[in-house]
Amino acid sequence: MKCIILAAGKGVRLLPITESRPKHIIPVGGVPLIERIVESLRANNIQDLFIVVGYKKRAIIEYLDDIIKHSTKIKYIEQDEPLGTADSIKLARDYVGKEDFMVIYGDLFIRPRTIERIISEYHKGKESIIGIKTSKKIGDYGIVNTENGYIKGIIEKPTRKVKRTNSINTGIYILNKDVFDGIEETERSIRGEYELTSSLNIAVQHNVKIRAVSLDEEEWMDIGYPWDLFDANERALNYIKHNIEGAVENNVSMIGPVILEKDAKILSGSRIEGPVFVGRNSILGPNCYLRPYTSIGKNVRIGSSCEVKNSIIMDGTKIPHLSYIGDSIIGTECNLGAGTITGNVRMDNKTVKVRIKNNFIDSNLRKLGAIIGDKVKTSINVNFMPGVKVGSNALIGPNIVVYEDILSREKLLLEQKFTRKKI
């Protein structure tokens, strides 16, 4: 079976993490989302892949070409304008032929058993399939109405409460060529896109049967907001097995599963509480403390007396000494000065809200630190309040408490006035 992976979107809600990368190659548990999808497909003997790319397409192409073995056939299809999921599939029409094919959104966290379940259900009747899941957050997804196990219609991102169902579209399908007739009739939505869900509604109106298959909680997760990455990272790390390929000095304490990749080092006096992932060529310590659900990328330096908890630290970042990073996402090649602290709990103990596209969105998390883009530099004694975002290439001077979001390439300095008197 052939598969179309939709990986052309920008991921605006994930800014500033997506300023310099497409959301599909954001790492969780040390592995980019799209790599997990490709490996899940390969584990189920799906080797013929068509990946629709658009925003920062070279990053996806170069990454996958570097890691994928020749046993997998990948064809990249370029979507020049972000015209929606139906347009993406239409671009792949000539490649999939007349056989039934799979479609999967490229920004999902899935495991091999997710694909296994979809394929298993398909083989029971060789009918079109849509994966669904129950959710309370219906406003961010397509709401699927079903009858006798088949879809009756999909309401995409409803602006009002839908009482009939709490089943959402997971973005995993097996479809036949009849869907292209629906795509040809699809008009732009109120969001200005040609949406696959609209095409499926048209297909259903033309008596095309699409069976709904429920996925388990652990089988699927959508990455829509920055804080979703913590949940995905936790799920990924829950399945790791203890594997030490790097060097561990004397007087290091490790509890629980830890992956330490080749050429990484843990220096004396450090304590690592797994599950934790540490990428190649990274150096931890001496005397640092990594707490559970921390993912460290390649070429990262975590120095003396630093504590990192439930965070994603991307490649090339340096946190040399005397800092605390909690419940935070730090982009690539950042350099955090001594005494950098990420506050992750509000004083009133309420859940943390984050500004997303000029609106404050409730993360529903009581603990949430900073979300920091690539190549950010802080001087000594910089404090971040819960939920603030910092754009890429920002510079933050010494002794500053960051209460509000900082834009990309913005320089923040604290002006001081001294009074000098002789004594």
**Residues identified as active-site:** 321
Using alpha carbons only, give the angle 337, 343, 266 rounded to the nearest 5 degrees: 55
Phi, psi dihedral angles at 286 (to 5 degrees): -75, 160
Phi, psi dihedral angles at 203 (to 5 degrees): -60, -40
Bridge partners, residue 228, by sequence: none
User: What's at 4, amino acid-wise?
Assistant: I
d(CA 332, CA 301): 12
Bridge partners, residue 51, by sequence: 5, 76
* CB-based burial label for 81 (10 Å; 0-12, 13-18, 19+): exposed
Listing DSSP states for 89-141 in one string gives: HHHTHHHHTTS-EEEEETTEEE-HHHHHHHHHHHHHH--EEEEEEE-S-GGGS
* CB-based burial label for 353 (10 Å; 0-12, 13-18, 19+): middle
Phi, psi dihedral angles at 172 (to 5 degrees): -125, 125
d(CA 40, CA 167): 24
- Report residue 51 CA to chain centroid gap: 18
d(CA 69, CA 58): 18
d(CA 12, CA 54): 14
